[in-house]
Amino acid sequence: MKTKRFVIRKNLIGKGIVVEFQKKDGSVVKYDHDAVYKANKAKFEGMNCFKKYKSYTATNNVPTFAREFVVE
């Protein structure tokens, strides 16, 4: 799935999706959506944005807690 930013969405959980987005510097980042969610489930479930909008986004970069899940 291609997107314009880092995103974790409830409706994508369990679908085995690899998300790809282009950072502002032009580099492309890919990550395993489910792996990021599973490793940080408690963090996401505690966020107000995740409760209200059922998603978490980061516009400019991969959050530090998700960088280990970036795939080449």
Task: Indicate whether 72 pLDDT > 80.
Answer: no
Residue with tokens 């679908």: 15
Contacts of residue 18, defined as CB under 8 A and 6 or more positions apart, other chains included, come to 1, 30, 31, 32, 33, 71
Please report how many Cα atoms fall inside a 13 Å half-sphere around the Cα of residue 38, on the Cβ side.
11
H/E element, 44: helix 41-46
Between the alpha carbon of residue 50 and those of residues 4, 13, 21, 26, the distances in Å are 18, 13, 20, 27
pLDDT confidence of 23, banded at 50, 70, 90? confident
Average model confidence (pLDDT) across the chain: 94
Q: Is pLDDT of 53 > 80?
A: yes
| Mean predicted confidence (pLDDT) in 5-16 | 96
